[in-house]
Amino acid sequence: MPALITKEKFIKKTNQKEKFFYIVENYTEIQDGKKRYKRRILKSLGRISKRQANIELSRFIDNPVAKLENIITTNILFTAALKIIDDSIKKTININIKESTYESFQYGVNFCEKYFLNHMLKDIGFIEIENFKQWLEEKKLSARSKNIVLIQLRKIFKYAVKRQWIKFIPLIESVKESKSNIIDRLTNEEIALILECDNQKLKFYIKFMLLTGLRPAEFKILKWSHISYEEKYIHIISDNKLKKGRKIPLDQQLEKTLIDWKESIFCFDEYVSPYRRPDSVVKLLKKHGKKYGINLNSYTLRKTFASIMAENGVDRGELAEIMGNTIATGEKYYIDVRHQHLMSAMEKRKMRLNPGKE
C-alpha cells in the first residue's frame, strides 16, 4: 500500500533544511533464500505542506494509471507501459506530431502488443527481440514493414528509459532489405482484372491511382477544393516536407472519373479519397489482388502509372514533375518499360538507318 515519507534536504538558497515529501511502497524480495524488506519511491511530491501531501497520496491511490506513470521501477508489464505511452502520444497529435506519425506508431504497436502481451518490460532483451523478428517473418511482412515495427518498438523503449522503468534500450537491429532491380508493375491484362470489382469505393481508388500516380498519403489528404475544372489541374499537397507539392493536368478521362465519383452515393465529404485509414485500403488491395494472384498495393498502382506514361513517350523530366520526384528516382524505382516497347523502339531505329526500306 502506498504511503508518505519525508526527507530533509539542505537548500543552499535559503541556507536551511527543508522537508520533501515522497510517495513510497514497501515490498518484500527473496534474496539468498532470505526475505528482505525493501522500499521504492513511486512519486516525488517536492516541497509541499503535509495536508497537500495527503491529498496527493489520495489521488495517487485512486488513479492506477498515475501510479504506473510515475513508478520508478522495472516491474511493469509491457502492455501497461504501452497504454501510458499511447495516452501520452495521443495528447500531442496535431501539436508536436502529425496524425500520420501516430498511425505509423499504431501500426507498429499492434504487432508489439500481440507478441509481448504477458512480458515484463525488464525481461525483454536482445534474444527476445530476435525471436520477435522471427515471429514477424512468419507474418510475411516485407523488410520495410518489419523495420517500421522495430522503429516503433525502439521508441517504446526510449520512452521507458526516460521514465526510468528500465535502465537502457536493448539492442534492436534493423532488418536488411533485399535490393532488387525488378519494378513490380501491372500488365494491361492485370489492370483489366483488378478493375472488375464489386466494391465501388475500391474500384474508384484503383482507377484514380492508375490515372494520377499519386502517393497514398497525397491521395488521402486530397480535397475537392484542390481540383480546378476550369483551369484543368489538380493541386497536390504533400504532408511530407521532403516531398514536392505540385499541379498535375486534369485530362478528360480523369475529369469524368472524378465527376462520376462525386455524383455517386458513396461520396459525401470534402475529401476525394473514399478511405481515411491507410491500413484499411492496404488490406483491401491485398485481398483483392490475391484473388487474381497479383501483388496489389498503392505503390504498384503508382509504378504502373509511371511505366505506362514512359511507354507512351512522355518525357522523363515531365513525368518526374507529374509524380513529384527526380528523374533518377523515377527511373530507379518506378519506370519499367516492357520488352515489346523496347523492341518497337529498336525497329524505329532500324527504319531510320534504312529509310528506303520497309
Q: What local confidence, expressed as pLDDT, does residue 10 receive? A: 62
218: cell is 497525397
For the chain, the helix, strand and coil percentages under 3-state DSSP, each to the nearest 5: 50, 15, 35
DSSP, collapsed to helix, strand or coil, labels residue 212 as: helix
pLDDT over 50 at 334, yes or no: yes
Convert the pLDDT of each residue in 92-146 to its tens digit.
Answer: 887 777 777 788 788 888 999 899 988 888 888 888 898 999 899 888 787 878 8
- What's the CATH number of domain 188-343, 3.40.1370.10, 1.10.443.10, 1.10.490.10, 3.90.1150.10? 1.10.443.10
CB 302 within 8 A of CB 215: yes
Mean confidence (pLDDT) of the chain: 79
Q: What local confidence, expressed as pLDDT, does residue 11 receive? A: 63
Give the up-direction half-sphere exposure of residue 74: CA atoms within 13 A in the CB hemisphere: 12
Q: What local confidence, expressed as pLDDT, does residue 285 receive? A: 92
| Position with higher pLDDT, 334 vs 274 | 274
249-281 core/surface letters (b: 16 or more CB in 10 A; e: else): ebeeebeebbeebeeeeebeeebbbbbeebeeb
137-143: Cβ within 8 A, 24+ apart: 139/111, 143/175, 143/176, 143/177, 143/178
Separation CA 184–CA 42 (nearest Å): 54
Q: What local confidence, expressed as pLDDT, does residue 328 receive? A: 65
Convert the pLDDT of each residue in 247-281 to its tens digit.
Answer: 888 999 999 999 999 998 888 789 999 988 877 88
Average the pLDDT over each of 29-33, 267-271, 336-340 and give the range with the smallest value: 336-340
N-to-C CA span, the chain: 96
Range ranked top by mean pLDDT from 44-48, 177-181, 278-282: 278-282
Q: What local confidence, expressed as pLDDT, does residue 25 receive? A: 78
CB 214 within 8 A of CB 206: no
Radius of gyration, CA atoms only, the chain: 29
CB atoms inside a 10 Å sphere around CB 71? 22
Same fold across 73-179 and 188-343:
no
CB 322 within 8 A of CB 213: yes
CB 3 within 8 A of CB 26: yes
Could you tell me the pTM of the whole model?
0.51
DSSP 8-state assignment for residue 197:
-
Average the pLDDT over each of 82-96, 223-237, 281-295, 296-310 and give the range with the smallest value: 82-96
The number of angstroms, rounded, from the C-alpha of 190 to the middle of its chain's C-alpha atoms is 28
pLDDT over 50 at 324, yes or no: yes
Structural fold of domain 73-179: DNA polymerase; domain 1 (1.10.150)
Q: Facing residues of 233 across strands?
A: 228, 249
Domain parsing of the chain, residue ranges: 1-72, 73-179, 188-343
- The helix/strand count (H/E) of the chain reads as 15, 6
